[in-house]
Amino acid sequence: MQRRVFSLGLMSTAAAPLWWSQPAWAAQIGQAAPAFSLSDTQGRRVSLADFKGRPVVLEWLNPGCPFVRKHYQGNMQGLQREYTGRGVAWLAINSTEPASVDYMAPATLAQWMREQQAAATAVLMDEDGRTGRAYGARVTPHMYIIDAEGMLRYAGAIDSIPSARVSDIERATNYVRQGLDELLAGRPLSVSTNQPYGCTIKYKA
């Protein structure tokens, strides 16, 4: 099965204009993160507002994507455990449309996450794609960091090496870890956006 991969190199906002970044109508760095309310894999409604006063990570997820599977060899789960343990809410969002071969029904996705021993705060279904489009999410994994005041502080790749090789994780700069450490220490993020890489999200037409 052929997969479209989006990866044009990684750049920080300090070094490059945002010509490649989210559309003008999508979430922008330094502005309020778009509100949303989605059902989790158990059918419960979860809203961004539920986590007011806490930093939030948004992780766009598709288990059929080799780039997602790369990071679920332990890297993503480790980040989830570490930062939820430090008070961060971690929301994994699946925007894959039901007609896609990569679509997983809620119960199947929940089972997959259990098998991976994931530690996300919630796993959310965005089957109509509205939340993904509001954030300008393009690929899986596409990562976002929202601060405790609800402002979007990071949007981009999980790390600095756009490959599907697990061996690259150790030598890559993990932008999510770096950003969360800076945010939790009360410092501005040294990298606030860059080019995400991964499999194109299969949005509903």
Quick one: average pLDDT of 127-132?
A: 97
Q: Is the pLDDT of residue 77 over 70?
A: yes
Percent of the chain at pLDDT > 70 equals: 88
Q: Is the pLDDT of residue 195 over 90?
A: yes
**Can you list the pairs that 39-43 forms with residues at least 24 positions away whose Cβ atoms lie under 8 Å?**
39/106, 39/124, 39/125, 40/106, 40/122, 40/123, 40/124, 40/125, 41/106, 41/107, 41/109, 41/110, 41/113, 41/123, 41/124, 41/125, 42/106, 42/110, 43/106
In the predicted model, what is the mean pLDDT of the chain? 90
Q: Is the pLDDT of residue 174 over 80?
A: yes
pLDDT tens, residue by residue, 2-45:
344 444 333 332 222 333 345 555 789 999 999 999 999 999 99
Quick one: average pLDDT of 43-49?
A: 98
pTM over 0.85: yes
Domain 49-123+134-200: which topology?
Glutaredoxin (3.40.30)
Domain spans, the chain: 49-123+134-200
Percent of the chain at pLDDT > 90 equals: 86
> C-alpha distances in angstroms, 31 versus 49, 121, 153?
15, 24, 8
Provide the strand spans (E) within 73-148. Answer: 89-94, 122-125, 139-140, 143-146
pLDDT tens, residue by residue, 98-108:
999 999 999 99
